[in-house]
């Protein structure tokens, strides 16, 4: 039993060399112990390799997901910039139309008619948008 602890705790290459050197021993108990250590080492190595491959796959999936999120973020930022430009353009157009309406009001014959006072509130730019809907 002492051999199994010391052989199993050795690095794998050293334990393999020791196993090879001691396998010619005539003691069957020692051979069984060394075989068990070798099997344990083999299972441990397989498990470590499997874990390494799984970790690699996980990191790859995580990287791919991060790349997709980055692309989506870029597209959304681009769309946001486009929409902001459109809002700015529409705001400028609204400002120009409002100024044109204000400049036109003093010369508008409709505004000076008798019914103009009752309908003047409907001709305001704020109310015109509501009426056009």
In DSSP notation, 88-125 reads HHHHHHHHHHHHHHHHHGGG-TGGGSTTHHHHGGGGSH
Q: Note the pLDDT of residue 91.
A: 98
What are residue 132's phi and psi, to 5 degrees? -75, -10
Percent of the chain past pLDDT 90, that is, above it, reads: 47
Distance of CA 109 to the CA centre of its chain: 62
Average pLDDT of the chain, as a whole number: 78
Give the predicted TM-score (pTM) of the model.
Answer: 0.47
Q: Note the pLDDT of residue 110.
A: 84
Q: Where are the domains of the chain?
A: 2-131
- Nearest CA among 5, 74, 80, 57 for reference residue 36: 5
**Is residue 116 scored above 50 in pLDDT?**
no
pLDDT range class, residue 111, cuts 50, 70, 90: confident
**20-72 pLDDT per residue, tens:** 655 555 566 666 666 777 888 999 999 999 999 999 999 999 999 999 999 99
């Amino acid at each position: 039993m002492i051999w199994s602890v010391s052989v199993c705790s050795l690095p794998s290459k050293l334990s393999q060399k020791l196993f090879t050197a001691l396998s010619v021993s005539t003691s069957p108990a020692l051979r069984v112990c060394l075989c068990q250590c070798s099997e344990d080492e083999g299972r441990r190595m397989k498990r470590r390799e499997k874990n390494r491959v799984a970790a690699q796959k996980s990191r790859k999936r995580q990287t791919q997901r991060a790349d997709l999120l980055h692309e989506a973020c870029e597209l959304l930022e681009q769309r946001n910039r486009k929409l902001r430009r459109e809002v700015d353009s529409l705001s400028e157009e609204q400002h120009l139309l409002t100024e044109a309406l204000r400049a036109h009001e003093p010369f508008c014959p409709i505004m000076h008619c008798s019914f103009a006072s009752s309908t003047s509130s409907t001709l305001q730019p704020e109310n015109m948008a509501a009426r056009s809907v």
